[in-house]
Amino acid sequence: MNVFSNNFIAIIPARSGSKGIKNKNLKKINGIPLINYTIEAAKRSKFIKKIFVSTDGKKIADYCKKKKIEVIKRPKSLSSDIAMSDRAVHHVVNYLIRQKKISFENIVFLQATSAVRKKQDIDNAIKKFKRKKLDSLFSGVNLHPSFWKKTKKNISPMNFSYIKRKRRQDNIFETIIENGSFYITKKKIWLKNKNRFGGKIDFYLMDSNSVFEIDSISDLNLVSHMFKFNYYKKANLIVPN
């Protein structure tokens, strides 16, 4: 049985189909395929000892193999537009346990659509996960939003009162938004719940510029501009070689 020290592995789901952008995961940002930003982030972690990409796409698989990343074929039933990434990750977890006989305790689920990460983000999040003895952790941002709920008949505030509106700094709670960059979850939670959340949950706060997930051409263009003009150096972002 293969045992990875520190018990952290990374799983990157990368479906070939995409309605918003054709071949999205291989679209280039400043000459570098999008998925490589996430692969590089996993490679730079001192805690992650093995990386797996789950994909149904031959081009994605071939690219990952060139990067010496192990590829696990994603079943067609988990590759449709409506299939949740959780199902793909759960498939990989079961495959590694039953077929590969790999022993691990924690999964870092990384989304290939997120390219904006600081060099220390993943490892600092893992340290928090271990220090606080968490079962699940998600990356997020605090944009101080004022949420409104719209129904067919009216619109109403969800997390504030427009009559007794407070200053942002006077709010008694934070509104944390998942940015989709990564999730850290114990294996036992994946096996029990078949999703990324369960047990004791907390978050790791990232910079607000990490909120952009690439789902459209405008997202791709915006993030591409973020990596130009040496901005990425000032922001300490991960950029593949």
Q: What is the CATH number of the domain that holds 6?
A: 3.90.550.10
Average pLDDT over residues 218-227: 89
- Predicted local confidence at residue 167, as pLDDT: 66
Q: Which domain holds residue 92?
A: 2-139+177-230
Q: Pick from 191, 176, 189: which is nearest to 129 by CA?
A: 189
Contact (Cβ atoms closer than 8 angstroms) between residue 145 and residue 59: no
Per DSSP bridges, beta strands 8-13 and 155-157 are unpaired
Do 183 and 199 touch, CB atoms closer than 8 A?
no
pTM of the model: 0.89
What's the longest Cα–Cα distance across the chain?
A: 62
CA distance linking residue 215 with residue 238, whole number of Å: 20
- Please tell me the total count of domains within the chain: 1
On whether residue 238 sits in a domain, the answer given is: no
* 169 domain residue, yes or no: no
Q: Is residue 124 part of a domain?
A: yes
Q: For residue 190, what pLDDT is reported?
A: 95
List residues bridging with 13 in a β-sheet: 54
Give a yes or no: residue 135 inside a domain: yes
Classify residue 158: in a domain, yes or no: no
Number of H helices, E strands in the chain: 7, 13
Tens-place pLDDT, residues 57-71: 899 999 999 999 999
Pairing of strands 136-141, 177-186: antiparallel
Q: What is the pLDDT of residue 82?
A: 67
In a domain, 236, yes or no: no
Angle among Cα 112, 114, 117 to the nearest 5 degrees reads 120
Alpha helices in 52-84 (DSSP H): 58-66
State the pLDDT at residue 189: 96
Examine residue 240 and state whether it is found in any structural domain, yes or no.
no
pLDDT tens-digit map of 105-152: 999 999 999 999 999 999 999 999 999 999 999 999 998 777 788 888
Residue 160 falls inside a structural domain: no
Pairwise CA distance, residues 1 & 57, whole Å: 29
DSSP 46: S
Q: How far apart are CA 210 and CA 223, in angstroms?
A: 9
Q: Where are the alpha helices (DSSP H) in the chain?
A: 34-43, 58-66, 85-98, 121-131, 187-193, 217-226, 231-234
